[in-house]
């Protein structure tokens, strides 16, 4: 069966947040302007990948090398020079604390920024998994890095179960633990994997894919939850109607 759709977690999240938002971003391909927070997160993720690879291969990384690496990966996130420098300093500190805390754990890392492209019916699931660590044999922990505020992690977390599905059904691994690593506070929250949550995620993926392929782009039923922060609200007639 020919491929009809490539779906990543990010695309799926766009659609679930608001189908019209997905339409503007991925169908009409309107320009997308990430916030400074998103840019900051991208900078830090790139640096984390490099630092983790060095620790994995050499067992450690010295402060000077880490600073140089971070400098190479950094791109400005704000036109405000003071704000940009403040965030840069914050990112450098977060990276330092992360590397000091994870020297031992990274020796069990199996994948770093693992890319995937997997066929599921007539769609292709694609994306990257921040990190996969071996617990024992084929049992693994799936880790996603977060630069935002600490929040509760539930067993049905959509993003982590999306990645758990990839590990279970396509990479011949047994997901045992799901974790969010909050870089802001250098804390990791974990839950045990529940296979029914992975199965529910698979069903949701197929349901969302079917709607996208059916060109179903009706705005979300709860617009005020997301519209004010949506980068497309100035061109969206539904939001304009809402505020008028």
**Are residues 149 and 79 located together in one domain of the fold?**
no
**Are residues 184 and 63 located together in one domain of the fold?**
no
**Are residues 182 and 115 located together in one domain of the fold?**
yes
Give how far Cα 82 sits from Cα of 89, 135, 174, 192, Å.
11, 43, 46, 42
Q: Where does a domain end: 103, 138, 160? A: 103
**Are residues 26 and 73 located together in one domain of the fold?**
no
Q: Tell me which of 10-14, 123-127, 236-240 is least confident.
A: 236-240
pLDDT-based confidence at residue 3 (cuts at 50, 70, 90):
low
**Are residues 98 and 12 located together in one domain of the fold?**
no
Kindly state whether residue 77 falls inside one of the protein's structural domains.
yes
For residue 184, pLDDT over 70 is answered with yes
**Are residues 85 and 165 located together in one domain of the fold?**
no
Kindly state whether residue 223 falls inside one of the protein's structural domains.
no
Give how far Cα 71 sits from Cα of 64, 76, 159, 201, 232, Å.
11, 11, 29, 38, 32
**Are residues 117 and 147 located together in one domain of the fold?**
yes
Percent of the chain with pLDDT over 90: 84
Kindly state whether residue 226 falls inside one of the protein's structural domains.
no
Distance of alpha carbon 196 from alpha carbon 155, whole angstroms: 10
For 198-230, the pLDDT digits (tens) are 999 999 999 999 999 999 998 877 656 788 888
**Are residues 50 and 146 located together in one domain of the fold?**
no
Could you tell me the residue range of the domain that residue 9 belongs to?
5-30+108-213
**Are residues 208 and 147 located together in one domain of the fold?**
yes
Read off the pLDDT of each residue in 76-92 and give the average, rounded to a whole number: 94
Domain count for the chain, please give it. Answer: 2
**Are residues 155 and 177 located together in one domain of the fold?**
yes
Kindly state whether residue 68 falls inside one of the protein's structural domains.
yes
**Are residues 72 and 181 located together in one domain of the fold?**
no
Kindly state whether residue 235 falls inside one of the protein's structural domains.
no
For 128-152, the pLDDT digits (tens) are 999 999 999 999 999 999 999 999 9
Mean pLDDT of the chain: 93
Identify which has the larger pLDDT, 234 or 51: 51
Q: Residue 238: its pLDDT value, please? A: 81
For residue 173, pLDDT over 90 is answered with yes
Read off the pLDDT of each residue in 159-178 and give the average, rounded to a whole number: 98
**Are residues 158 and 203 located together in one domain of the fold?**
yes
């Amino acid at each position: 069966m020919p491929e009809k759709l490539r779906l990543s977690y990010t695309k799926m999240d766009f659609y679930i947040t608001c189908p019209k938002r997905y339409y503007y971003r991925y169908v009409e391909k309107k320009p997308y302007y990430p916030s400074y927070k998103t840019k900051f997160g991208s900078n830090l993720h790139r640096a984390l990948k490099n630092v983790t690879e060095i620790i994995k291969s050499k067992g450690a990384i010295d402060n000077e090398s880490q600073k140089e690496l971070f400098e190479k990966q950094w791109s400005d996130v704000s036109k405000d020079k003071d704000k940009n420098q403040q965030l840069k300093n914050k990112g450098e500190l977060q990276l330092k604390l992360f590397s000091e805390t994870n020297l031992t754990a990274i020796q069990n890392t199996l994948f770093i920024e693992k890319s995937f492209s997997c066929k599921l019916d007539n769609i292709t699931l694609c994306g990257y998994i921040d990190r996969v660590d071996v617990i024992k044999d084929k049992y693994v922990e799936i880790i996603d890095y977060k630069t935002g505020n600490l929040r509760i992690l539930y067993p049905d977390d959509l993003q982590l179960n999306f990645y758990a599905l990839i590990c279970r059904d396509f990479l011949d691994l047994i997901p045992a633990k799901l974790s969010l690593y909050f870089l802001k506070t250098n804390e990791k929250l974990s839950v045990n994997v529940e296979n029914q949550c992975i199965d529910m995620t698979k069903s949701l993926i197929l349901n969302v894919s079917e709607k996208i392929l059916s060109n179903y782009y009706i705005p979300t039923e709860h617009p005020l939850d997301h519209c004010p922060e949506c980068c497309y609200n100035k061109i969206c007639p539904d939001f304009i109607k809402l505020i008028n």
